Amino acid sequence: MLKLLLLLLIGQNILFGETPTVNCDQIFELRKEELHRELDKIDEEAQSLEALKNANLEMFQKREKALNEKEELINGELNKIENLKKEIEALKEENKKILDEMRDIKDSKVSQSFLKMKEGKAAAILDAMSQDEAASILLKLTPKKISKVMAKMDPNNASKITNIMLQNKISDKSK
């Protein structure tokens, strides 16, 4: 029904030669206002986008600064740790030297004691000790004293101690 009515109106206008007059200036003004509103909207959105960008940039810079500060702090702590580690290593080396000196002094005193003992008594004591300890003590004695003491020791035990002494000499040379 609506189509029919439209057709009648269009037909009447065509038949009677009435053409509606369109005011172009009015259409252009309406379109111009519409474009201005959209342009204003775009400007507002661009400004808010720029503000958001600036806020993000500022936040990024703050975080980067904080990160750099933390990194410097961590690097400082790492340097302190490295220095402490070096100090500890130096102290360990010093303690090791002192311990070695103390062992040498102790071994020297033990060796001197065995050098002053009669061979029979030294052999009896060494037979009662572990073979590793006996070998360690005998290695610090003079060859002449070793031979006299081992002559008085149990032959089986003296043989085992001799093997240990040989192994210790070989391992000392390889070091």
* Residue 1 pLDDT: 67
Which has the closest alpha carbon to 54: 62, 44, 66? 62
Integer Cα distance of 159 and 115 in angstroms: 21
Domain spans of the chain?
Answer: 24-102, 117-175
User: Would you state the pLDDT for residue 78?
Assistant: 94
- Per-residue pLDDT at 4: 66
**Which residues touch 157 (CB under 8 Å, ≥6 apart)?**
127, 131, 134
Q: For residue 128, give both structure tokens.
A: 């009662």
Contact 132, 162 (CB under 8 A): no
Residue-wise pLDDT tens for the chain (175 aa)? 666 666 666 666 666 555 555 677 888 888 889 999 999 999 999 999 999 999 999 999 999 999 999 999 999 999 999 999 999 999 999 999 988 888 777 767 777 777 788 888 888 888 898 888 888 888 888 888 888 888 889 889 888 888 888 887 655 554 4
